[in-house]
Chains A and B, each alone.
Chain A
Amino acid sequence: MSDAPGDVAGALLEALLPGSGIGVAVHDEHLRVLVISPSLAELSGTRPGEQVGRRLTEVLPGEVGEVAEASLRAVAASRRPLLRLEPAVEAGRERGWLIHVYPLEYGGRELVAVIALDVTESRRAHEHLQQTRERLDTAQRMAHVGSWTWDVTGDRWHWSEELFRIAGLSPAARPPDFRSLLGAIPPEHRGAFRDVTSRALRDGRPYEIRFPVLLPDGGRRILRGRGVPVRGDGGAIERVHGFAQDVTELARAESHQRAATALGRLALSGVTLEVLMGEAADAVASELGFDFVAVVAPVEDGAAFEVRALSSGGTPFAGRSGVQIDANSLTAEVLRTGETLIVPDWDREHRLPRASMADTLGIRSSAAVIIGTREAPLAVLSGHSAAPGRVGAEDAAFMATVANVIASASRRLKSEAEVAAGAEARGRLVALALDAEDRARRGISEALHDGPLQDLLALGHDIERLRPAGEGDEAHLTRVRDGLASAVRQIRDVMLDLHPVQLQVGGLQSALQAICAQQAAAAGYACAVEIEPAAAGRRDELVMSLARELLRNAGKHSRGGEVHVRVALEDGALRLDVIDDGVGIPPDRLGEALGEGHIGLASSRERAEAIGGSFRVGPRDDELPGTQAVAILP
């Protein structure tokens, strides 16, 4: 190497001052420094003049010098370039140098050249970018969200790593094109996916769609995708950015919730516990993909068990309720402990004795939850799969929800039965009390009829036989006759109030006519009675009692001119209508009257309801002015 070029090179190298970011050096055949720029000398912590003519092992400390010179030696020997990244610490700051060592032929000599690029900033930028990518990837992985970009014109896709994972593909694989993507979607959902995508490409609006995808391993996931079309300079849509989220778990949870809600609604609809249990077994089998679901209840104080419900289809026990099963079972353990039990694999289960049905049905994994409480167990809900490890904690959680629905329904049905029994008992008591009252009224009425009334009437005849003996006797006799007649009338009125004896002889028509005439005369209204012949003789006593009360009310409150009493058969039940043309009854008046202690109408309602009938008082059905009372008596 001549001095002149070296001087030129040296002058050139001088221009590469520290901080320029570029360092250059040339080594001779003995690896000694021929020339070195100040910037590269700076990398090794020396001045340029100190390194010229010396080997790196002589100017660089220890291992650093050895490694650097080894690189030079390797290039000198192999005559092949070497590229390495050299970290360095400068004033406490880590820096990065990209060092390119390469063989240099110059003037017939085999030299070694070194070019060093300060890549501290670009390295930091790269690291920052890498960190950002990693953070994004971590976030995507945690959220099960993958991002993508679709170059529409070239049908090229870029997928994030998480999107590959979501799709069950290796991140090293190439993203599928649109056709391949469609192929991963079950056929019945492809049309919707294609339609949504086409529409977005037409109108350029962001879109969202939920769709299932089939994984290469045979699995299935539910994805929620969102795309945002991006137009190019020409206005055409060139790309679509978007993300896809794995909502399989969310969809499953939503489905579970819907199933539990549907069961809850069914429970409230009044179905029997047996029906509810059957539906629950089917819901658990369907939602969790179990092969076999059973509801098994203890009988005979827990000494035996009975199948109360089974999921439909595909099981040896299908349709066979009431099968006695082993006490030595998962069910027995759940009843004993009250705890939820999961058996991931019966072949590896050591805590519980292997149930015989596990062999019979080929069950490998099971879960069971109690319905009710350990103290008051109603049954055990168990789910089974032929696949090992198929049943897990999430499945058991859904089963517990279903068990709660059944337990709540059971409690509600029990409460309703108790309330119904109470109401029935109360109804019986009311009926007994009212019957007793009716008997008493009838007894008094008959006693009045057969005794005092007949006596007075006979006495009347005797008086007729008397002849006046002296002056004034005729007037006395007249007063006696009048008194007797008045007494007879009063007794008859009392009898009608208590119990019309006409009922025994003349029947309902006669008795109702008599009461109607009595009340009409007292209140000053006209009364008409209409009785369907077939309606008489069924509940005459009760009809009389209700009619008497209603006619009395009409007289007191209606201020009407006409009252119409009608007794007829309607849908197999007796219907009594008492209709007036008076002022009507305000909507709240009936409740107020009851609150004020007017028990006549309340008593009427009690009497009707006591036999399973109904009673109402309100505006007339024909919407004319007045009031209509209707009693339906089965």
Chain B
Amino acid sequence: MGHDPKVLHASGTGALTRRVYIADDHEGYRSGVARLVAEHPALEVVGQAADGEQALAGIVECQPDVALLDVRMPGMNGIEVCRRLQAEGTAPNVRIVLITGTPDPVLSTQAAEAGAVALLGKETPPNTIAAQLLAAAEGRVGWSVE
């Protein structure tokens, strides 16, 4: 688990790709998302993590364009990772998209307050997730809940 700092910043076609970091403690879900990101022509996975602490360190190191963080993870949860990044300013250009298996309005509010640009439910279709990540990476998303 972790990230590969040597991954390219551009796709093989020469078009600019957006660098995505994925953190989720559920291996099956995380790998599924990683696959769909990898298959997306404008996105690439630059790192993965299975808990909050690992994600915080990886994001700081990889400086991705966008990070998809599961809300509920062992140790530090996704919202807390988001707060820490905002507070510490160690990844000023990364945009955070949170994802949860149990969405609710209060969580949405807390996600927004923590500095995330979107909160997605895990049942969100893969294409929509990919689109949200791309939009977030390109700064086209204000705040959205899916």
Do A and B form a real pair? yes
> Which of A108-116, A142-150, A243-251, A447-455 has 4 or more CB atoms under 8 Å from chain B?
A447-455
- Choose among B26, B33, B77 the residue with the greatest number of A CB atoms under 10 Å from its CB: B26
Q: Kindly state whether residue A522 has any CB partner on chain B within 8 Å.
A: no
Q: Kindly state whether residue A403 has any CB partner on chain B within 8 Å.
A: no
Question: Nearest chain A CB to B130's CB is how many angstroms away?
Answer: 11
List chain B residues, Cβ under 8 A from A507: 106, 110
* Contact across chains for A505 and B123 when beta carbons are under 8 A apart: no
Using a CB–CB cutoff of 8 Å, the interface residues on chain A facing chain B are 449-450, 453-455, 457-458, 460-462, 464-465, 485, 488, 492, 495, 500-502, 504-507, 509-510, 513-514, 517
* Contact across chains for A513 and B126 when beta carbons are under 8 A apart: no
Partner of B106 from the list A460, A464, A506 (CB cut-off 8 Å) is A506
A450-B106 contact, Cβ under 8 Å, with A461-B36, A464-B125, A505-B71: no
* Contact across chains for B106 and A457 when beta carbons are under 8 A apart: no
* Contact across chains for A502 and B104 when beta carbons are under 8 A apart: yes
Residue of chain B at shortest CB distance from A510? B106
List chain B residues, Cβ under 8 A from A464: 125-127
- Choose among B26, B77, B100, B104 the residue with the greatest number of A CB atoms under 10 Å from its CB: B104
Q: How far is the CA of A220 from the CA of B3 in the complex (A)?
A: 106
Question: Nearest chain B CB to A498's CB is how many angstroms away?
Answer: 12
A458-B25 contact, Cβ under 8 Å, with A505-B71, A505-B72, A505-B77: no
Selected A-B contacts with CB under 8 Å, 20 pairs: A453-B102, A454-B28, A457-B29, A457-B101, A457-B123, A458-B26, A458-B28, A461-B32, A464-B126, A465-B36, A500-B102, A502-B106, A502-B107, A505-B71, A505-B110, A506-B104, A510-B106, A510-B107, A513-B104, A514-B102
List chain A residues, Cβ under 8 A from B72: 449, 501, 504-505
Q: Kindly state whether residue B117 has any CB partner on chain A within 8 Å.
A: no
- Choose among B33, B102, B123 the residue with the greatest number of A CB atoms under 10 Å from its CB: B102
* Contact across chains for A461 and B29 when beta carbons are under 8 A apart: yes
List chain A residues, Cβ under 8 A from B78: 505
Q: Kindly state whether residue B12 has any CB partner on chain A within 8 Å.
A: no
List chain A residues, Cβ under 8 A from B77: 504-505
Q: Kindly state whether residue B105 has any CB partner on chain A within 8 Å.
A: yes
Q: Which 8 A-B pairs have the closest CB atoms?
A: A510-B106, A454-B26, A458-B29, A458-B28, A457-B122, A461-B32, A506-B107, A513-B106
* Contact across chains for B122 and A492 when beta carbons are under 8 A apart: no
Partner of B102 from the list A449, A461, A462 (CB cut-off 8 Å) is A449
Partner of B79 from the list A450, A455, A505, A517 (CB cut-off 8 Å) is A505
Q: Mark B10-39, 1 if CB is under 8 A from A, else 0.
A: 000000000000000110110011001000
Given contacts A454-B29, A458-B32, A510-B104, 8 further A-B contacts (CB under 8 A): A454-B28, A457-B29, A461-B29, A485-B123, A488-B123, A502-B104, A505-B71, A506-B106
* Contact across chains for A454 and B122 when beta carbons are under 8 A apart: yes
Q: Which residues of B in the span 49-104 have a Cβ within 8 Å of any Cβ on A?
A: 71-72, 77-79, 100-102, 104
- Choose among A449, A462, A502 the residue with the greatest number of B CB atoms under 10 Å from its CB: A502
Q: How far is the CA of A453 from the CA of B28 in the complex (A)?
A: 11
Partner of B101 from the list A453, A506, A510, A517 (CB cut-off 8 Å) is A453
List chain B residues, Cβ under 8 A from A500: 102
A465-B126 contact, Cβ under 8 Å, with A458-B29, A513-B106: yes
Partner of B105 from the list A453, A454, A485, A513 (CB cut-off 8 Å) is A513
Q: How far is the CA of A461 from the CA of B125 in the complex (A)?
A: 7
Residue of chain B at shortest CB distance from A496? B102
List chain B residues, Cβ under 8 A from A513: 104-106
Residue of chain B at shortest CB distance from A462? B32
Partner of B104 from the list A449, A455, A517 (CB cut-off 8 Å) is A517
Residue of chain B at shortest CB distance from A449? B101
A510-B110 contact, Cβ under 8 Å, with A450-B25, A454-B29: yes
Q: How far is the CA of A173 from the CA of B33 in the complex (A)?
A: 125
Q: How far is the CA of A460 from the CA of B29 in the complex (A)?
A: 9
* Contact across chains for B101 and A454 when beta carbons are under 8 A apart: yes
* Contact across chains for B126 and A509 when beta carbons are under 8 A apart: no
Q: How far is the CA of A455 from the CA of B30 in the complex (A)?
A: 11
Partner of A502 from the list B29, B102, B122 (CB cut-off 8 Å) is B102
Question: Nearest chain B CB to A343's CB is how many angstroms away?
Answer: 80
Question: Nearest chain B CB to A454's CB is how many angstroms away?
Answer: 4
* Contact across chains for B106 and A455 when beta carbons are under 8 A apart: no
Question: Nearest chain B CB to A127's CB is how many angstroms away?
Answer: 112
* Contact across chains for A495 and B32 when beta carbons are under 8 A apart: no
Residue of chain B at shortest CB distance from A500? B102
Question: Nearest chain A CB to B115's CB is how many angstroms away?
Answer: 16
Partner of A492 from the list B71, B102, B106, B127 (CB cut-off 8 Å) is B102
List chain A residues, Cβ under 8 A from B101: 449, 453-454, 457, 492
Q: Mark B110-126, 1 if CB is under 8 A from A, else 0.
A: 10000000000011011
Question: Nearest chain B CB to A376's CB is how many angstroms away?
Answer: 61
List chain B residues, Cβ under 8 A from A461: 29, 32-33, 36, 125-126
List chain B residues, Cβ under 8 A from A449: 72, 101-102
Q: How far is the CA of A507 from the CA of B102 in the complex (A)?
A: 13
Q: How far is the CA of A450 from the CA of B32 in the complex (A)?
A: 16
Question: Nearest chain A CB to B20's CB is how many angstroms away?
Answer: 15
List chain B residues, Cβ under 8 A from A517: 104-105
Question: Nearest chain A CB to B96's CB is how many angstroms away?
Answer: 15
Question: Nearest chain A CB to B101's CB is how many angstroms away?
Answer: 5
List chain A residues, Cβ under 8 A from B125: 461, 464
- Choose among B36, B101, B105 the residue with the greatest number of A CB atoms under 10 Å from its CB: B101
* Contact across chains for B26 and A450 when beta carbons are under 8 A apart: yes
Question: Nearest chain A CB to B97's CB is how many angstroms away?
Answer: 15
Q: How far is the CA of A401 from the CA of B71 in the complex (A)?
A: 73
List chain B residues, Cβ under 8 A from A492: 101-102
Question: Nearest chain B CB to A529's CB is how many angstroms away?
Answer: 9
List chain A residues, Cβ under 8 A from B28: 454-455, 458
Q: How far is the CA of A141 from the CA of B10 in the complex (A)?
A: 129
Q: How far is the CA of A448 from the CA of B72 in the complex (A)?
A: 13
- Choose among A495, A502, A506 the residue with the greatest number of B CB atoms under 10 Å from its CB: A506
Question: Nearest chain B CB to A510's CB is how many angstroms away?
Answer: 4
Q: How far is the CA of A495 from the CA of B79 in the complex (A)?
A: 21
Q: How far is the CA of A504 from the CA of B73 in the complex (A)?
A: 10
